Copies of this chain bind each other. A is one copy, B any other.
Amino acid sequence: MSAKIKDVAALAGVSIATVSRALGNGPVSADLRERVEQAVAQLGYRPNLAARRLRSQHSQTVGLLVSDIRNPFFTAVSRAVEDAAYRAGMRVILCNVDEDVKKEAMYLRLMQEERVCGVIFSPTGDTASRFRPDRFEFPVVMIDRAGPPGLTDAVVLDNKQAAQQLVEHLIGRGYRRIGGLFGNSSTTGAERAAGYEAALVAQGLPVAARFVPPNVDAAVAAVKSWLTEPDRPDALIASNGLLLQGTVRALMEAGMSIPGDVALAGFDNDVWTGLVGHGLTVIEQPVYDIGTLAMEMLLSRLENPSLAKRKMVLNGILLARGSTAAKQA
């Protein structure tokens, strides 16, 4: 068994209270502190976090629930959250919800049992709007996806504006039959679809939005069948990095050239998007900022629980690359 504080106290010849103070930041004479540290080193003592948390009623831990750990967007955000948490002396429990409502509920319950001091959370499906913050002891900051304003704090992209920008870019490059592929299980997908539609309607162009589960395989299947239909699009946009991957794969397997046969644009500046063909045009999200800001928002909420709920909206930037080169008549 590992050494306990009692053993350290005995070896150092002091009381356990003194050991506790020496390890924390209580007032201890240099002399005793020295002896305690010696004893700690000699025994390889490590405090038991369960005991510490139970007594101090403070977990120093935040939960981070991401929708899909395979999506580079979320790994980038999680690094930022982790860095920020670490700076603030907190730990992060990273949970992969896997776009599964049951896992989501399970992990939220776990967060309660862990008595985390807060949760950063990208809600699945309509949990975004149905979420009941009052049923949890801890404050929640939503990222990427958010419910109605005032529900919880949130850090999100201006999805509508970004999608609109993307479509306008395609229109400007001469494309007219622009299809949109969106995730069917997040507010993000819906908002991006709205921006897509608005841009097309403004120009009197036809709208063709399709909604699929947000993973690579679903996108491949959807795009493949789409391409066999009459009047196929001359351009496509995909509403996140995974759908974009699937779209590229489907186009390649169908022997289509980009942008010759179909132009392509999407979301998330994942590294590979610069490597495909002449590069894919994407909206780059400020991923690291999103994570950092979410953590800051959570910390300020912990300091001041009575503040009004805040929703921070960030803007993506358009990276125009070869996949949306001007259409050849």
Which residues in A have some Cβ–Cβ distance to B below 8 Å?
1-2, 44, 46-51, 53-54, 59, 69-70, 72, 75-76, 78-79, 82, 91, 93-94, 96, 98, 109-110, 112-115, 135, 137, 216, 245, 248-249, 252, 270-272, 274-276
Instruction: Provide the residues of chain B in CB contact with A44, threshold 8 Å.
Output: 135
Instruction: Provide the residues of chain B in CB contact with A79, threshold 8 Å.
Output: 69-70, 96, 98
Partner of A82, one of B48, B93, B96: B96
Closest residue of chain B to A135, judged by CB? Answer: B44
- The 9 A-B residue pairs with the shortest CB-CB distance, nearest first, are A272-B272, A50-B53, A50-B54, A46-B112, A49-B113, A94-B94, A50-B50, A248-B275, A275-B276
B82, A75: Cβ atoms under 8 Å? no
Could you tell me the distance in whole angstroms from the C-beta of A87 to the nearest C-beta in chain B?
A: 13
B274, A249: Cβ atoms under 8 Å? yes
Partner of A46, one of B46, B109, B270: B109
A78, B72: Cβ atoms under 8 Å? no
Partner of A113, one of B46, B115, B135, B137: B46
Instruction: Provide the residues of chain B in CB contact with A248, threshold 8 Å.
Output: 275
A113, B47: Cβ atoms under 8 Å? yes
A252 to B272, CA, bound (A): 12
A70, B59: Cβ atoms under 8 Å? no
A36 to B75, CA, bound (A): 41
Instruction: Provide the residues of chain B in CB contact with A47, threshold 8 Å.
Output: 113
Partner of A78, one of B51, B69, B110: B69
A69, B59: Cβ atoms under 8 Å? no
Could you tell me the distance in whole angstroms from the C-beta of A137 to the nearest C-beta in chain B?
A: 5
Could you tell me the distance in whole angstroms from the C-beta of A6 to the nearest C-beta in chain B?
A: 15
A70 to B54, CA, bound (A): 34
Instruction: Provide the residues of chain B in CB contact with A135, threshold 8 Å.
Output: 44
Given contacts A115-B50, A275-B248, A275-B252, contact A91 B70 (CB under 8 A): no
A91, B110: Cβ atoms under 8 Å? yes
> Most chain-B CB neighbours within 10 Å: which of A47, A114, A115, A275?
A275
Partner of A276, one of B50, B91, B272: B272
6 A–B contacts, CB within 8 A, in A order: A46-B112, A49-B114, A69-B78, A216-B271, A245-B271, A276-B276
